Each structure stands twice: as C-alpha cells, then as structure tokens.
Structure 1
C-alpha cells in the first residue's frame, strides 16, 4: 500500500508555487523564457518542466545573452520578453541586457532566484541582494516572500513592464519556489485579484487632447520649411508619417532606432543626423524653420537646432520626455499612429514643394556617393562592400540586427529599409554584443523570415558561444562578421579627440570565426578577397540552417560623419601629427574613398 501511495503521489505531485508563476506567464501569452539554469532556480525550472507544453525554455550559454534576447524579442514584437537567471552571479550577468531594455523602453520581465528565506542575510554562498542590485533598472522590483502572493504579483509586474515600457523583476527564494502553490503559512491577507473574465491589461489611451492637436496644426501649417524627425515610437505609424510628410512637403530625418519607420527609398527620407547620419540630414536641420518630432527622444542635442532657431512640435507617448531635448512650443502626448491620424485632417496641404525638392536632390547625390564606397575592387576589403552585399541579396522582409561599433555606421547608411524590412540595435545603451542574441530571439519570434546579425569581431567575440545556441535550437540565422581585428569605433573616437590610437588593435593572427561556426556544425565561410564577398553572402542567406560569414575588412576605413565639422578635422590632423601608427594607410584609404565617390 505504501508503494502504491508513493506511486500515486509521483503521478500527481503537489502543485508548487513556481507552477503558479509559469501558468500566469502563459495566461499573459508568454510563449518563451530565455535563460540559464542554476541551483538557485531549480524550483522554477521544475515549474517550467511541468508546463513545457505552454511555455518553452530556450537554454542559452550566458545570462547576458538571455536578457538581450528578451529585450530584442520585446523590441521586435511589442510583447513582453522574459528572461530567467539563478541567484548571485547569474542575476548579475542579466544586468547589461536589462539596461538595454530599460533605456530603449522595451517591456521585459526578469525572474531570478535567491537563497532560502531562513539563510538570507547570513552571507550565504552566492547571496546577493538582487532587489537592491536591480533598484535602478527595474520599474517593479519584489522579493516574493509568500506563495500566496502568486500569481497576483506576476500580474502587477507584467502590467508595470507593459505600461511603463521597462523592466520588472521578481526574485523567489528557493523554498518559496517549491512551496505548495497558494499556501499562506502566515495567514496573511491575500491581495485581491480580478475575476477571470476581466482583461489582464488595458493599454493607456493613445489619442492626444483635441486642443493640443489644434495647437500643433497651427504651428505646422504656419511653417514654410518643415522637417520631421521620427524615432522608434513611430515604428507602427509608417503610413501616417508618410501622409503627414506629403501634406507638409516635409523631408523626414530618421533616428537610428527609427530607421525602419519609413523606407529609405521614400521620396521623403533624407537619412539620419549625428555621427551615423547623412549630410542631407545634417543640412536639413540647418535649413528648417519648423521641426516636428514624432516618437523620439533624440539625445544628441548638439545635432539639433539651437534653442530659439525653429518652432518645435513634439508628439510623445511619455509626458516626462516631452520637451526635454528641445524648447517645445507644442508638446502633444499620445500614441504616434493615433495622434497623427487625428492630426492629419487639421493640416493644410502645402503648395510650395521647393523645400522638399531641394533636399531630395541632395539625397540623390548622397546616395550615389555612398553606393560608390561599396566597390568590390577595394583591397583590403571595404566594410561598406560587405553590408552592401547583404543589402543587395537579403529579402524584402529581412530583419537586420546590429552590434555597436563601426558596423553601426555602415548599417545605418547601407542597409536600406524597403517594404517590410526591419532593423534593431542597442540604441541608448549602445552596448556591444547584442547583435547575435537579438538575431536568435527574432528568428524564434519570426520563424518564416530571414534574420541577419551584422556584427563586428569585438562584439561577436564577447558572446560567440550563443552561435551554438542557434545551432542547437535549429534557428537558421545568418551571421556576418565585419572582422577588422580592432575595436574600430574606439580607435576613431581616440583620433577625433586628437590622440593616436592606443590599446584598440588585437595582435595577429586575425581570428577565424568561420572555423568556429564549422566546429558548431554550421556553415562557416572565411572571406579575404572582395570578389568573394557576394558569393559567400548569397550562399549563407540561402542556407537552410545557421550560417556565418567572416570577412577580413580594412581596419583603416574611417566611419566619417555625414558632415565633418572643423574641430573634428583639426583633432584628426593632431592625431596624425602626434604619431598615429597607421596614418599612411588611413590617408590612402581616405584617398581611395574620394576616388570611388568621384568615379563610381
């Protein structure tokens, strides 16, 4: 009889608190948790195992990658991204990816474990007060101390992450994870929960106040030379942005994170501003009398018009962010798509199109010069040629993820948004290494689409083990490594400060990441000649599994700003005079660039 009783218990185990958490995640539509197991979350892993038919666990090789995957998933889908890590070092590793989510306003729930309740505060092994560690990064941050709190606090955490477009965090002691679900050992009052028929989450209203829309229309209608600056907050308002641009005869500047808002071949697009921007974009800032900022909190104020030079309207979802970058005559609070739809009937169609036509001509000249830099004739291989090949052969609905570095400049200028293409990067944190984890998460979210990670050797080297994660998960991502064996962005930043480069170039041999890809059981191709780039990229994009192309590119190709300022040129010259070690090859590369632009 005792044997039968044990067998019956094994067949129908006690429902544990971790199950209440996982079940609630599934109720909210969470289909994947990105993470790495550890002894601090064994109970949570058991909850996931018992409900693996509802929520998939995607095993990674570094917790930082798990947080990047959750952030990338949230950025691309607009849904909640979830990551899981053990106590102590595991929770610490999540932080970089969580700050990426926080600063780019992506809804992410981080779940961590901690030591049993009885030993907290005793200096136990791997004991880190995660709730204090996460005090800045998390909008909602709780140590679950009673099984009866679940699933109520899960609801609050997820609502907070979605409503505030940020990070929520729950940490569960080991003993709470495996305690009987719903049990209340202290007989406390259980928080009230909504009935099952109530919606779990109601989004905030997105339509601005009518009086604000009327004031915005008055300013925009009065402008003679209007410019639009659009950001990631307008990603789902493409048609509305284009309609406003057409009505106002306004060229459109796109921020880096807002690159996919409108197509690059649109007659209104003039590229970006700032170090990654275009000359037409920079010149438009100097030439407009009215600036309409839509869904952006562009932080680089030195690239915006000086205070008082232009009239400014800003359509922004968060009242806190309205007007903090520019003196804003009319701040309009609301969703970009809904706000523009209500604004459009109030706008007068501008008959004078000369302002738009002037900047269209400038953009045509810029595009011709930029295209010339992607020549296959260059030796060493020009990095622009690599991203131009990706752009040429990728599908019209491809998703490009990018690391931070010189690759960001090349992607910003040579990855053209057309039709349903998208682009994701660490925007405000600008951290290295998210390109590969983003690609894994996005390929998981969109299995039918082409997902390409365009990364530098520095960023790829940080989390390259996650390529094996893609292989094991059978995710057919394409990784293209722009390999200059150098921390290129820092090299050029040192020179712009007037200093010769120092400590940014790795020793030979140049790493062969293609060999690593083959060792993982995937397609790996090493490219050292410009004529072989196109073939390698085409092969990788058509391969049915994970593929990697590692291209040795010119380390002395400078990511020049769209419009070089006098102080920048002066500091560059000072670095040469002080003994820049590669000044001859850099000068030669700059000369080649100019020749290609004139003859391309």
Structure 2
C-alpha cells in the first residue's frame, strides 16, 4: 500500500506525543481521515458533533495537560466553525494546532464549492498559518507549526488540500530546492530559560523587601508553582489574590488566600488592591485595569513569561521575564522575611468574615433553590482531586465563590474570551486526558443548549463526566449587566416551555434527573457523581438571584435603582431575593 501524505502528517504528530485529535469528518479531509485510520493504534480520533466543540476540547486538553491540543475540521464551513474555540485558545495563551481541509489545488480560485481560504480567515487567530501545497513540506512544517504554538503560546494552523492529502508521501513535483527533512528521531521543543536575569531578580527583591503592605496577584501562569507562591507569600507576609483562571494556584482555605478581584471577586480582594503599597503580579496579565491599583500609587513587580506582555497593564517598577516556578525559586533566597504580620492578619480576619457571608447564602431552606446552595453541594460531594469546568455567566460567579480549591482540585473556564458553551466540551476533553479523576461540568441552561449535542459524544465514549445545569431560564449575566447599566431587562429570559435537559440525557442512554426542590439536590448530585458513565442533573434555581460584586460601587447601586424606577419587570422578585440574602447573612 502506498504511503500517503496524510500518514506522514499523522506519524509526525504522534512523534510529538499527540495521542488524541478532536474533530468532525467531511469531504475536505477524507484523505486525513484515511491517514488516521491507518494509524489508529497511535492517534485516537474523537468524533464530535460540532467543530466548535472540537476546538474547545483541543484548548481544554492544552490547559489541563500543558501539551499541544489538536483539532481537525473539513474545508469551508467546518473550518469556520472552529474559530470560537481557537480564539479561546489564543486569548488564554494555549498551544493548539488546527488542521483543516482545502479544495484540490487545481480548482482553487475558481469559486468552487465550499472554497473558503481558511488561511486568510485565520490570519488573526493563528501564530503560524500555512496552506500545504507540496507533499515534501509536511514533516518540516508540522514541526515548525508545533514549535511555534508552544513558543508563542497560541494557535498554529495547517490547511491541506485534498489532492495533497492523498499524494504519495515521497512526491516532490517541483523539486526546486531540497525540502527540509527533520530527523526520524522524536522531535523536541526547547523552552526558553525560565529564570529571570539576575539583576532583575535583585531589583525585584529590593522593591518587595521594602514593601510594608505587599499583595500578590497570581494567575494561570502560576498554576504549576503552588509551593513557590506559598513560600513567597509566607516570607513577605503577603495575602494572595487569585485571578479566576488562576483559582487553583493555591488552596482557597490557605491562610494567604483572599479570593479574587473584579466582578466575580471578593470584598477582601478588592480592599487589598486599594490598600497595598506593593503588588507582585505572578503569571498573570490581568486585563481588567479598573480593578488594579491606581497608576503611580503602588510599586509593582511582575514575573511574566512573554516579554511582549510584561508591564502592559500597569506601570511596573520591575518587570521580570521568566517562568513563575523557576523565577520564584530563584527569587526566594533574596527575600527578607517580614516579621510584622499585621497586614496579613487584617486580611485573614476579613476573609473569615467573607467566608461566613458566603456560607450564609448556601441555605437549603431557600425556595426556589439558591444557586449558591447548588454549587456548595457539588463542592461538598466532589473528590479532592476533582476537576470543575465552567461556562461563562452567573455560574462563573457561583463557582468562583462556592467551589473550594483543596487538595489537587482543578478549575477551568474560558478566561479572556469568556465565551459561552465550553463547559461541556472542556469536561469531555479533560475526562479523556485524566480518566481516573472526577470531572464535573457546571453550566448554565443558555450555554449548555448551544452545544448540548456533545453530551451524546460523552455517552458514545462512556465518559463518566457529571454535568450539572444551573437552570435559571435566562441569560443571567446579561440580565444583571442590563440592570447595572440602568436598563430594565429585555430579551434575556427564555420563558415557557421550561427546559428539561434531563430528558435529553436519558434519551442519550445516560443518567438524567430533574431537580426542582432543595431537598433533592444532595441525592441527585451524589447519584450523578457515583454513576458509571455520563450523568446530568438539571436543577431549577432562583432566576432572580443577583451575582452581586464583592464590593458594590456607588455608581453600580445608582444604576441598579434606575433600572427599578424605569420599570424592571421582575423588581418585586429581585428585591425579595436581595432581602432574603441580607437576612441570611445577618442571621448567621
């Protein structure tokens, strides 16, 4: 049997350690599918129902494993569908390779069916972007694409025309110059040195040692540096704020943890940003500058892997380029222990008060079901190494505040893109990557409905993921955003008939249960977690529970009142819920 180009493509991916490709076949990639069939023992093809989900899965694989994620789509519409998931990878700086098909080279430029020049479409999303038009290119450009994705922490794209896919692997029709021939040995990626320059470490230590009220802001770039972050926090007596993608950097019950900042953050976190005289940013390029200290008023030190991103958010006294773990390990011997713990103790007390306030909202007596209670029960019943994936919206607020990082727990969501719908595809990819761990998708009804066909994917592969739908019958985050802008809500509630996604789960041959009473939440979640296979619990929660910021500004409160005065249609229910929230906290 003649060896075809697609086999070389698959073999080279396998040499890089790729063992899984997420995708959806089409006539534009039939040759690549044949290459995968011939090497099914080396690379697993995971069949999805929508290409957007395939790209989300590739991004999730990269986020959870640190290894490149690969997705595959046909020419034209298939490649177009990948884009949202690829932008999720781009904006969260994850290495992903997208492989797409293309019409035969002889018909390009003739307006042939599904002729979409995906290399042009991907010009913004891809760090490396190439149409392969010569079989001799393939081994070399696969290596370059993967190295670029790793080096630039982003998306690489290879588009392979149909005729090139099935051409003989040794074909070289032009033979202008000798093609790049990578060695037959397994390729490697050499990361840049992870230790910042010595003079930068010394300058950083001088600033940090001089600080009297130091705070740490840790992000996803520090997820692998837990012990080093905790050691630095201990030496400096510094409370640690965590970005949402960096929620798992340190445990939530750590004496140094003060939660997050921003709309989904905590009051202690917000207060600390305003109070600190020195801020140490570790592995984060936090984009919401209005939640950072006022420029010029706080000394800032940053350790950042990408030179292009260092110091771009806030005036930075000492930007350091390097890996969070290696950089912190090199910095630690230069730091002087701060024996004055008053600053740290102040925020430990504030955080204890915050935790009590959050616990007061987790009441099983509230009817309709409080989303805080639902998330608290998932948190209580899940294993200490469980992975929680989350969609964007109000559910991200409940997860941020009521999913406790302890042990080896993970937490993943679409960070900078903040797109809807990745929660379920993320869970599928992570269960495939970590078959021995509990994987839970906490999703909203709006986001789940977008890619709910992928629950059938989970059922087909018998993946024991647990999906919990926080069903408020609305696009909850947009509802509250409209009110904070001073507008009465409009076009954000789905209305009747009410959705019942548990029926969909059962039709897929999986566990499915609808919950409408607080007394049934525990049993339903427990049974779902124990089920040997995919399970879904659809929980009707209070649609009028507001995801209030950790610290409400005067302007936010003013606009909220304006929305009420202008005719907010559910103002009585919302006011009643707010009243119950406050009574719960006062009565704790």
> TM-score scaled by structure 1?
0.97
Partner of 2:274: 286
SS of 1:342 mapped into structure 2:
helix
- Name the structure 1 match of 2:479: 491
8 Å CA contact 2:15–2:186 kept in 1: the answer is: no
Partner of residue 206 from structure 2, selected from 218, 229, 236: 218
Say if 1:236 and 1:337, in contact at 8 Å, map to a contact too: yes
Aligned residue in 2 for 1:124: 112
Deviation at 1:204, TM superposition (A): 1.2
Whole-angstrom CA distance in 1 between matches of 2:401 and 2:84: 27
User: CA, structure 1 residues 567+19, in 2 after alignment: closer, same or farther (shift >3 Å)?
Assistant: same
Name the structure 1 match of 2:496. 508
Q: Which SS does the other structure have where 2:28 is aligned?
A: helix
Deviation at 1:474, TM superposition (A): 1.0
Counterpart selection for 2:153 from 147, 153, 165: 165
Partner in structure 1 of residue 237 of structure 2: 249
Match of 1:331 among 302, 319, 328: 319
* SS in structure 2 of the partner of residue 244 of structure 1: helix
Answer yes or no: is 1:135 the counterpart of 2:128.
Answer: no
Query: CA distance change for structure 1 residues 392 and 198 in 2, over 3 Å: closer, same or farther?
Result: closer
Separation in 2, partners of 1:195, 1:49? 24
1:175 is matched with which residue: 163, 174, 180?
A: 163
Contact kept in structure 2, 1:150 and 1:182, CA below 8 Å: no
Which of 262, 275, 280 is equivalent to 1:274?
262
Equivalent position SS for 1:150 = helix
- 1: distance between equivalents of 2:19 and 2:303? 33
Shift of 1:521: 0.1
Secondary structure of 2:255's counterpart equals coil
Q: Distance in 1 between matches of 2:94 and 2:189?
A: 16
Q: Which residue of 2 aligns with 1:5?
A: none
2:523 corresponds to: 535
Q: Distance in 1 between matches of 2:5 and 2:400?
A: 46
Q: Which among 12, 15, 20 is matched to residue 27 of structure 1? A: 15
- In 1, the alpha carbon distance for the partners of 2:195 and 2:551 equals 38
Residue aligning to 1:567: 555
- Residue aligning to 1:441: 429
What secondary structure does 1:151 align onto?
helix
Structure 1 pair 592/513, CA: closer, same or farther in 2 (3 Å)?
same
How far did 1:182 drift?
Answer: 2.3
Match of 2:581 in 1: 593
Counterpart residue number, 2:61: 73
- The separation in 2 between residues aligned to 1:243 and 1:513, in whole angstroms, is 45
Q: Distance in 2 between the 1:396 and 1:193 partners?
A: 47
For the Cα contact (< 8 Å) 1:402–1:434, is it kept in 2?
A: yes
Q: Kindly indicate whether the alpha-carbon contact (under 8 Å) linking 1:311 and 1:329 is maintained by their aligned counterparts in 2.
A: yes
Structure 2 residue 440 is matched with structure 1 residue 452: yes
Distance 2:46 2:364 in 1: 39
- 2:461 is aligned to 473
Question: Offset at 1:188?
Answer: 2.8
Given that 1:149 and 1:190 are in contact with CA atoms closer than 8 Å, whether structure 2 keeps it comes out as: no
Aligned to 1:578: 566
Residue of structure 1 in register with 2:31 after alignment: 43
Of the three residues 509, 517, 533, the one matched with 1:521 is: 509
Residue aligning to 1:302: 290
Contact 2:61 2:430 in 1 (8 A): yes
SS at match of 1:352: coil
Query: Are residues 1:195 and 2:183 paired?
Result: yes
8 A contact 1:155–1:200 mirrored in 2: no
User: Counterpart in 1 of 2:91?
Assistant: 103
Equivalent-residue separation in structure 2 for 1:63 and 1:125 (angstroms): 19
Check the 8 A contact 2:139/2:182 in 1, yes or no.
no
Q: Which runs of 4+ in 1 moved over 4 A?
A: none
Alignment RMSD (CA, Å): 0.7
Q: Residues 258-292 of structure 1, C-alpha deviation per residue, up to 9 Å, x if partnerless? A: 00000000000000000000000000011100000
Deviations 1:416-470 (A, max 9, x none): 0001000000000000000000000000000000000000000000000000000
- Residues 198 and 471 of structure 1: CA distance in aligned 2, closer, same or farther (over 3 Å): closer
State whether residues 315 and 336 of structure 1, in contact with CA within 8 Å, keep that contact through their aligned partners in structure 2: yes
Q: CA deviation at 1:253?
A: 0.1
Q: For 2:143, which of 112, 131, 155 is the aligned residue?
A: 155
8 A contact 2:216–2:233 mirrored in 1? yes
The count of corresponding residues between Structure 1 and Structure 2 is 588
Q: Match of 1:232?
A: 220
Check conservation: 2:140, 2:182, Cα contact below 8 A: no
C-alpha separation between the residues in 1 aligned to 2:415 and 2:208?
29
Deviation, 1:102, is 0.2
Instruction: Calculate the TM-score normalised by the size of structure 2.
Output: 0.99
Write the distance in 2 (CA, Å) between the matches of 1:555 and 1:49: 48
Deviation for aligned residue 1:35: 0.1
* 1:202 positional shift: 1.1
**CA-to-partner distance for each residue in 1:198-253, whole Å, 9 max, x for gaps?**
74321111110000000000000000000000000000000000000000000000
- For structure 1, the 5+ residue unaligned runs are 1-12
**Cα distance change, pair 191–204 in 1 and its aligned pair in 2 (3 A):** farther
Per-residue CA shift, 1:8-46, capped at 9, x if unaligned? xxxxx2100000000000000000000000000000000
Question: In the aligned structure 1, how far is the partner of 2:74 from the partner of 2:548?
Answer: 43
Given that residues 20 and 43 in structure 2 are in contact (C-alpha distance below 8 angstroms), is that contact kept between their aligned partners in structure 1? yes
Which one of 16, 41, 61 corresponds to residue 53 of structure 1? 41
User: Shift of the alpha carbon at 1:193?
Assistant: 3.2
Unaligned runs of 5+ in 2: none
Tell me by how many angstroms 1:599 deviates: 1.6
2:51, 2:82 within 8 Å by CA — same for their partners in 1?
Answer: yes
